[in-house]
């Protein structure tokens, strides 16, 4: 009996001890989980990465552009070249309608129908392979037009379709016997076409460049001759809405230089205040395209602001519909050893990181090349720089990929390395 009693006491004691161990272990695990949630990791590995300094700005677009307009602008305009198309000097870009043009066009339309019917009913007409090819192209153009909802694209296909039909009629006329009804119809149509051309006023490009029909009336105000006048007050006085679309004009067009364009903005960021003429940066346009840009002009404003002109050479045709846009400035970007700022500690004007390996801590002096609010690009000091810093002999000066660093290192940890 006594032995059983002793055994029960031991079992009870063992149970209590196991319970206590489980409680302590549970508290430890719970505490570790809480710490992990509050601070998921206390180390980070060195990796290759990129950091950049960006800024959102609102800018005014200034182009090297020339408005072209004829005498008969009240008659209405027919576009020959398409919006955004590159044109050569003296190339016809649009024309003004002639007097009585609607009547002539109606006659041409009626002749087209009659020509088509005559060609379908005339079994003696010789159809060449060129005509068969044109018929295929006409069918394809008609099919594509049915699926379009873009007005400009529809106009382009209609112009192409009209060209195919005209070519088909011309070829059929050449193959028809002289004196035939088809030949007479086609000759009559050609006479009307010649009358349209002779009575119309054709406008040629005064120089090579990009053709645009979007006129906002600021082409003579915002010129590329003198950028010193484009300060903050001048630009805000234009009363232009950001992102406003410039409407298509039905009386005139313009030729825009495709070599360079400019965008002007005002900023008071540190990067803007430190910018210098000739600096190379990047900008991201509203269509998300990133292009190279150069600081071209700087005006110092009041209240530590600067109005900066940037020059760029790509993406000009994509901005023809705008005069004022919101865009992104990428002042700089740098690739290298990317580490969180929380891994860097400054002591006696020198930056350090604490490397941990198997519980052993090493203090490493690093050069901070560039820094954002969250990350830095760091590198190793050169031998001459190390001599100038006069570092402690225990301090290491080499950081490598995959080194494990402490986050938020304390001065105590720095002193124990």
Q: How confident is the model at residue 156 (pLDDT cuts 50, 70, 90)?
A: low
Q: How far is 282 from 334, CA to CA, in rounded Å? A: 13
Distances (CA, A) of 350 to 168, 392, 411: 81, 12, 13
Note whether 413 and 364 are within 8 A (CB): no
Q: How far is 291 from 332, CA to CA, in rounded Å? A: 13
Counting other chains too, the contacts that 19-27 makes at CB distance below 8 Å and 24 or more residues apart are: none
Q: What is the pLDDT of residue 385?
A: 86
Q: Which residues pair with 255 in a beta bridge?
A: 66, 211
pLDDT tens, 101-128? 778 788 878 887 877 777 766 644 455 5
Q: How far is 108 from 188, CA to CA, in rounded Å? A: 9
Give mean pLDDT, residues 160-180: 61
pLDDT tens, 181-235? 777 777 778 777 777 777 788 999 999 999 999 999 999 999 999 999 999 999 9
Domains of the chain, by residue range, sit at: 1-38, 98-199, 344-416
* Residue found by looking up tokens 């071209």 in the block: 296
**Residues 98, 68, 74, CA angle at the centre, nearest 5°?**
35
């Amino acid at each position: 009996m006594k032995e059983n009693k002793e055994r029960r006491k031991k079992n009870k004691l063992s149970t209590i001890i196991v319970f206590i161990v489980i409680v302590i272990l549970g508290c430890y695990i719970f505490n570790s989980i809480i710490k992990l949630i509050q601070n998921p990791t206390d180390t980070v590995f060195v990796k290759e990465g990129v950091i950049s300094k960006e800024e959102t700005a609102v800018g005014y677009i200034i182009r090297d552009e020339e408005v072209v307009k004829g005498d008969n602008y009240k008659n209405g305009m027919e576009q020959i070249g398409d919006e955004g198309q590159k044109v050569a000097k003296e190339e016809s870009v649009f024309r003004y309608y002639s007097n009585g043009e609607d009547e002539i066009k109606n006659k041409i339309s009626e002749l087209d129908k009659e020509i088509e019917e005559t060609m379908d009913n005339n079994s003696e007409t010789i159809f060449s392979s060129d005509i068969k090819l044109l018929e295929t192209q006409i069918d394809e153009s008609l099919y594509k037009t049915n699926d379009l909802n873009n007005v400009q694209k529809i106009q382009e296909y209609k112009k192409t379709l009209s060209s195919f039909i005209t070519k088909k009629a011309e070829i059929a006329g050449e193959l028809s016997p002289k004196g035939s009804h088809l030949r007479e119809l086609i000759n009559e149509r050609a006479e009307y076409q010649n009358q349209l051309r002779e009575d119309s006023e054709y406008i040629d490009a005064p120089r090579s460049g990009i053709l645009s029909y979007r006129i906002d009336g600021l082409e003579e105000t915002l010129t590329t001759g003198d950028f010193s006048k484009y300060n903050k007050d001048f630009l805000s006085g234009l009363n232009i809405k950001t992102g406003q679309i410039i409407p298509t004009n039905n009386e005139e067009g313009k030729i825009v230089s495709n070599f360079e364009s400019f965008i002007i903005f005002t900023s008071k960021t540190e990067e803007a205040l430190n910018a210098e003429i000739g600096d190379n940066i990047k900008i991201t346009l509203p269509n998300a395209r990133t292009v190279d840009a150069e600081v071209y002009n700087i005006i110092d404003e009041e209240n530590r602001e600067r109005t900066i002109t940037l020059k760029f050479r790509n993406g000009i045709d994509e901005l023809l519909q705008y005069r004022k846009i919101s865009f992104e400035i990428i002042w700089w970007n740098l690739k290298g050893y990317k580490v969180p700022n929380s891994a860097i500690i400054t002591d006696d004007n020198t930056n350090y990181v604490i490397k941990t390996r198997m519980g052993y801590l090493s203090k490493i002096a690093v050069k901070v090349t560039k820094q954002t609010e969250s990350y830095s690009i760091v590198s190793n000091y050169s031998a001459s720089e190390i001599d100038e810093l006069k570092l402690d002999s225990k301090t290491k000066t080499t950081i490598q990929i995959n080194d494990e660093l402490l986050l938020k290192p304390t001065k105590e940890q720095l002193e124990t390395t």
